[in-house]
Every structure is written in structure tokens, then in C-alpha cells.
Structure 1
Amino acid sequence: MGMGNPLLDISNDVTEEILSKYDVKVDSAILAEEKHMPIYKELAEMSGVQYIAGGATQNSIRVAQWMMGEAGQTAYMGCIGKDAFGEQLKGCATSDGVLAHYMEDEATPTGTCAVLVCKGERSLIANLAAANNFKETHLETDLAKEIIESSEIYYSAGFFLTVSVESLLKVTNHAVENNKIFCLNFSAPFIIDFFGDQVAAALPYADYVFCNESEAEAYGKKHGLGDDGKDLEAVALKVAAMPKTSGVRARTVVFTQGSKCTIVAKEGKVTKYDVTPLGPDLLVDTNGAGDAFVGGFLAMLTKGADIAKCVDAGHWAASVIIQRSGCTFPEACDYKA
């Protein structure tokens, strides 16, 4: 089960001038400010615009469902508006086989994310809108209770920490009480820098922690770990050793580094897993690569696979997604588990 910020991605290829115009860095993820608001209309009016179901957690759950095959193996909760974009998100989740139980806000539009693709690298500007209005009361609905009770693994990207920590902690407490697995993604440097208290509240519950190298470095720098984030292996070991609310299983920390090796830390040991390189001519769009990695990892974790297999599935899923535009995938999954 995933819980996060459902957004409709508005994706298009842009020039470096557009990035400069909106003061956006390459391969960044930020929340929209007033100065960014015109970008959504500008992207929509460009030729080649694509509308894709998005939001980090929703992407991971969609990929996990795709790799697991049989419909109904995954569920997702978040808040959308009662509008056309919301209906589009519903339709996408249903067609992907995900059981989506959205909270619907009649007064606020569905959230959107500007996906700026420049030379294969993506930058994200999220306008949360309705996604920002998820309430803990939604977890009291009959279907939400059923989803929470029947799920064995729970996942949330750090972006949801800006919305409803109370909702997340309600789920994590259920996970601890019932010996289930909770997975957390740091998601972006700004989450670490500006929502540190929320990260600190969720981290003790996390059995698995995911992030990329820039987020790992930001965490190390903020907390004075691993030579202020320069030694990623040391940062991973420190995060893995931090206190947990449940002693049933040791925390596993997974740092991805794009085409470089993936770092996994657990019980005082670091293991590195090489990434099979992809020719530059095959790279289309890195948007969703990290989300896809988590989706592939979770799909195998659900099946009881070991860490090596989970990482392999994550690498494979990410390689599929970056050869396509947006976080999309072929109808059939041909991963050999």
C-alpha cells in the first residue's frame, strides 16, 4: 500500500532557457512558488505535451503492480480534486490494476507536476493543490481500513511528510503493532533541509529507507554524517543504525546513484550492486527512474526475494522507464524473476 501526493504530470521537452526563466536546476524536485505558476500553461501550450499519472509514491505503486502482474496486488491513497484531471488519475490507476482509494476535495483542483525534460534529464515543479489536503479522517473509511488491514508492506515518499504526518504515523503504528514492513523515501533534498522534524518522526518506523545520492549527501550534511555527506557509505551505515521502534528486523538503507552502483547498508555492512549501463542513445527521459527502482524493489520484496534480487528488479524497472517518456511502461512486463 502506498500513501502519497497524487499529481497529474504535465510533461514536455524544454530548453535550458526555460529552466533559467523559472530558476529551476537540472534534475531537481521543488514545490511550486508563485513565480512558477505560469509554467503549467506554457507547457500545455507547447507541441508534444503529455499528461501522465504521477506523484512519486503513485509511480512506485504503479510500477510494482505492473511487475507483480495480477491486478489488485497493490493499493494507493491520496487526495485529488473532483475534476477532469482527477478522473484521469482514477482511470489510469484502474487501468494499471491499482486499487486507488482517493480522498476527493470538491473545493480544490487536482494537483499537477510540471515535468521539464532537458537533454534527457528531468526537473519537477509540483503544485500540490488538492494533494495537500489529505486528512487522517480518510483512513477511517471502510475501504481504507480494509486496505490497511490486508496490506503487508507500506510505502511513502518523503513528499507526503509535507501533507499529513499524522496519517502516515497512523499507518506506521499499525505496521509496528502487526510486524509488517514500512518503507520510506527521502525523495528530495528540500524535504531533508526544510522538513527535518517530519523526517525524524517517520524514520524510526522505517524498515527500508530509499534515496538517491543527492538526497543522501543532503542528509549527511545536515546531520554531520559521513564527512558531511561526502562519504555515502558512511552515511548509509549511520542511517541503518539509527533507532527503530521495532526490533523485529534490522533497517536496510538503499542509496541509488543513477548509472553508478547502488549502495545497500544493513547490520554494519555495505554491499554495492553495479548498474548495467544503458547507451546514451537509448535514454529518453529520467523522470520516474527512482520511483521505478522502488517499484521494482517492492515487487520482489513482496514475493520474499533477497536483497540482491530486489535491487536487480529495481535496476531493471528503472532501465525500462528511462527509455520511455514519463513514468510509463509497456503493457506486458517481461522481467524474469
Structure 2
Amino acid sequence: MASNETGARVTVVGSLNMDLVVRSPRLPQPGETLAGRTFAQVAGGKGGNQAVAAARLGAQVSMLGCVGADANGAQLRAGLEAERIDCAALETGGAPSGVALIVVDDASQNTIVIVAGSNGEVTPATIARHEATLAAADVVICQLETPPESVRAALATARRLGKTVILNPAPATGPLPADWLPLIDYLIPNELEAAALSGLTVDSPEDAARAAAALRAAGARNVLVTLGARGVHAALEGAAVMRYDAPRVEAVDTTAAGDTFIGGFAAQLAQGATVEAAIHFAQRAAALSVTRAGAQPSIPTRSEVDAFG
């Protein structure tokens, strides 16, 4: 059960998918058929994962999005409600619920293919219908698994309402529109997304630092480039780029690590933590998540992160 008995409020605008997860010895090559070891069907989607993470890690959370009128949609909604996430702004659309096809190998790396389904029915009008949900939040989180015009509407509405705005630009295929960046308080890409957004090669921590600085210079107030086990490079407003080392753990499955980081970071900001404290907390939460299999099942609670130290 989520540990969300605080006054900190987070609204997540984004996707909910049913994850179809196969574990195999390695990732398949194009045209190759591999024998998988196990199969599981679990709730996922970046929006849903980040909402669950924020709720388990101490915030009161609302979910703004869309599921299908199908069994997957009912299961996704029920899963959020079990975490005491407010689903008043979670609409039911005409398309089937989104799905993600995930293969995880023995090195704990994964490949993911997403079919948007009802996530594609989140429109600017959807955002407008639920402005009160955004107005009630301290922190608003968006990603890129819903239509871009809807993401922009959510960013702009949250900025107009004076909220702290986080964008996790995933999946990113190129630079963000220039008029998005001033709307974002915290832009949080991984190394692949940072490369796509900045046009720079990001193969090393030094590259990540350069990409973070470039994205801040382009207009984002603060940029956090997450590198998994290699830590976080943060280009914060008015400060030099700083590196935050990640805790060392034995990884089992990295599927929801980034989403856990985002949710934990947002929950801490909503509770009034400093940015540095929020980064350290989110890193510990993400480290715990990779020691467990699955997306939402791997996300730890606030008490587990506190005990992890």
C-alpha cells in the first residue's frame, strides 16, 4: 500500500500500458526467434509507473490519462486505485488500452515496443477538462507517450498555474520544440534521450555533463541526465554541472528504474526537499527497484528507501 499520508500532491499526466514481459537469455537479433524462459503480464506505462512510484514514495497522487473500455483498462485502473491514487481524471476512451511488449535478458537489459492505444486519445481538451486536477498539485509530471500537442497543453497549463513542472522526455526521437523548454522546471532524460534532444553523442559521464549543460542553455531551467548505475549529471539553475553517484546494487531488471527515479524525485520536491536531497532519495529508490523483477511490482515504498539508507 502506498505511503501517501502527506500534504505533498503530485499529478501525473501520461500513459498507462499493460506490459507483456518475456525473460530470455539475450535480446533477439532482427529475424531471430528465441525461446523465452518466463512470461508475465503486469501494469506499466511511464505515466502509470511514475504515479505508483510517487504514491509509494510519499505523495498524494492524481492520474490524468486514458484507458480502454477493456479488461486491461479495468485492471490498470484498479491497480492505481489500490495504491490510493486519485483516478477522477483517468478517462475511458474508445481504443483498446495501451500495451508494451518487453524482453528482458540475463544482463538485465531490455527492449520495449509500445502500442499507444487509448493513450493516443489524451487530447488538449482532455487536459482542459481536468485543469482542477492540475491546479491541486504541487508538482506535475509529463512524459512523451501521449500525443505531443497534449503534452504541450499540460506543460503550459501547469506553468500558468505556477506548478513545479517535470518532463521525462521518453521516448525522445529528436529535439523538443523550442517553446516547450521555458515551460519545464526539471527536464530528466536518460543518456539516449539526452543525445536525441541535444544532438550530442552521449557515451560517457563527461558527454552527459555536456548534454545537460547544452539543454539548460537551450532553455530548460534544470536538467538531470540519468545514467543508471553511472549516476546522475545535473545542470541546475545557477550552478555548475554536478555528478551524483548511484548506490551499488546487483541488478535483476532495470525496466522501471527511470520511472522510479522520476516518481521519487517528484514526491520529494512536493514535500519541500532540496533538489540535491531529492536526487539522492530518487537514486536510492531506483537502485532498490532494479533488484526486483517487473515494472510496478519493483517500485519500493518510502519506508524501504529510508531503511536502505
Q: What TM-score do you get using the length of structure 2 for normalisation?
A: 0.85
Question: Could you say which residue in structure 1 is the equivalent of 2:64?
Answer: 77
Question: Could you say which residue in structure 2 is the equivalent of 1:278?
Answer: 249
Q: How many residues of Structure 1 are paired with residues of Structure 2 in the alignment?
A: 292
Aligned partners of 1:298, 1:332: CA distance in 2, in Å?
13
Question: Could you say which residue in structure 2 is the equivalent of 1:130?
Answer: 118
Question: Could you say which residue in structure 1 is the equivalent of 2:173?
Answer: 192
Question: Could you say which residue in structure 2 is the equivalent of 1:19?
Answer: 28
Could you tell me which of 162, 167, 183 is aligned with 1:179?
162
Question: Could you say which residue in structure 1 is the equivalent of 2:293?
Answer: 325
Q: Structure 2: 5+ residue runs without aligned partners?
A: 1-10
Aligned partners of 2:52, 2:132: CA distance in 1, in Å?
20
How far apart are 1:284 and its partner, in Å?
1.4
**AA partner of residue 296 (structure 1):** G
How far apart are 1:260 and its partner, in Å?
0.9
Question: Could you say which residue in structure 2 is the equivalent of 1:262?
Answer: 232
Question: Could you say which residue in structure 2 is the equivalent of 1:34?
Answer: none
Aligned partners of 2:301, 2:69: CA distance in 1, in Å?
28
How far apart are 1:199 and its partner, in Å?
4.2
User: Structure 1 298/22 Cα, relative in aligned 2: closer, same or farther at 3 Å?
Assistant: farther
Matched, 1:297 2:265: yes
Question: Could you say which residue in structure 1 is the equivalent of 2:208?
Answer: 232
User: Structure 1 95/293 Cα, relative in aligned 2: closer, same or farther at 3 Å?
Assistant: same
Question: Could you say which residue in structure 1 is the equivalent of 2:4?
Answer: none
Aligned partners of 1:171, 1:19: CA distance in 2, in Å?
37
How far apart are 1:22 and its partner, in Å?
5.8
SS of residue matched to 1:259: helix
1:34-113 to structure 2, matched below 5 A, reads 48-68=38-58, 73-100=60-87, 101-106=89-94, 108-113=95-100
1:110-189 to structure 2, matched below 5 A, reads 110-119=97-106, 120-141=108-129, 144-160=130-146, 163-165=147-149, 167-188=150-171
How far apart are 1:230 and its partner, in Å?
6.9
SS of residue matched to 1:87: helix
Aligned partners of 2:211, 2:115: CA distance in 1, in Å?
31
How far apart are 1:138 and its partner, in Å?
2.3
SS of residue matched to 1:211: coil
How far apart are 1:173 and its partner, in Å?
2.6
User: Structure 1 226/20 Cα, relative in aligned 2: closer, same or farther at 3 Å?
Assistant: closer
Aligned partners of 2:219, 2:275: CA distance in 1, in Å?
21
User: Structure 1 285/241 Cα, relative in aligned 2: closer, same or farther at 3 Å?
Assistant: same
How far apart are 1:68 and its partner, in Å?
0.4
SS of residue matched to 1:85: helix
How far apart are 1:297 and its partner, in Å?
0.8
Question: Could you say which residue in structure 2 is the equivalent of 1:33?
Answer: none
Q: Deviations over 1:48-106 (max 9, x none)?
A: 3222211112211210110106xxx1111112110000001001100112112322123
How far apart are 1:129 and its partner, in Å?
1.5
Question: Could you say which residue in structure 1 is the equivalent of 2:12?
Answer: 2
Paired residues of 2:144 and 2:151 also in contact (CA < 8 A): no
**AA partner of residue 132 (structure 2):** E
How far apart are 1:333 and its partner, in Å?
3.3
User: Structure 1 92/205 Cα, relative in aligned 2: closer, same or farther at 3 Å?
Assistant: same
Aligned partners of 1:92, 1:98: CA distance in 2, in Å?
9
Question: Could you say which residue in structure 2 is the equivalent of 1:31?
Answer: none
**AA partner of residue 168 (structure 2):** N
Question: Could you say which residue in structure 2 is the equivalent of 1:32?
Answer: none
Aligned partners of 1:241, 1:225: CA distance in 2, in Å?
17
Aligned partners of 1:205, 1:303: CA distance in 2, in Å?
21
Aligned partners of 1:291, 1:114: CA distance in 2, in Å?
17
SS of residue matched to 2:167: strand
- Structure 1 runs of 4+ with >3 Å offset: 198-201, 224-227, 329-333
User: Structure 1 178/199 Cα, relative in aligned 2: closer, same or farther at 3 Å?
Assistant: same
> Aligned Cα RMSD in Å?
2.8
Q: Mean alpha-carbon deviation: is it higher for 82-91 or for 313-322? A: 313-322
Q: What TM-score do you get using the length of structure 1 for normalisation?
A: 0.78
How far apart are 1:174 and its partner, in Å?
2.8
